[in-house]
Amino acid sequence: SDYLGFDLVMVNNLPEPSVLLADRGYDADRIRKKMEAREVLTQIPMRKSRRMRVGVDHSLYSLRNLVERCFNKLKNARRVATRYDKTAESFLGFIDITSIRLWLRLLST
């Protein structure tokens, strides 16, 4: 499940988030408690098997859809989706180029 890699993503050397928007794969009491200790608002839909019901602000959670769409558009570039680049620097450079292309396309509409 997704929550196994959560600690690697949320290391303390990153800027402190104010809200965590995640999918059901991250619904674990351990994650919720860790984010509550860091005073981060968690917006994670609960799994169907969860006994303790937890609500979600749907207007805030809908912002997650924008991020998902952005990743989907970035992955339409074959080079980004398959990661042909050998170094992280060239891979991130191509993500920049692809992002600029998407932004220019958005401006032209």
Q: What is the DSSP string of the chain?
A: -GGGGHHHHT-TTSPPPSEEE--GGG--HHHHHHHHHTT-EEE-PPPTT-SS-----HHHHTHHHHHHHHHHHHHTSHHHHHT--SSHHHHHHHHHHHHHHHHHHHHH-
pLDDT reported for residue 28: 84
Number of residues written out for the chain: 109
Q: What is the pLDDT of residue 99?
A: 92
Q: How far, CA to CA in Å, does 8 sit from each of 3, 25, 26? A: 10, 15, 13
pTM: 0.66
| Token couple for 52 | 């303790």
Q: What is the pLDDT along the chain (109 residues), one digit of tens a residue?
A: 566 778 777 776 678 888 888 888 888 888 889 889 989 888 888 888 877 778 788 888 888 888 888 889 988 888 888 888 889 899 899 999 999 999 999 898 7
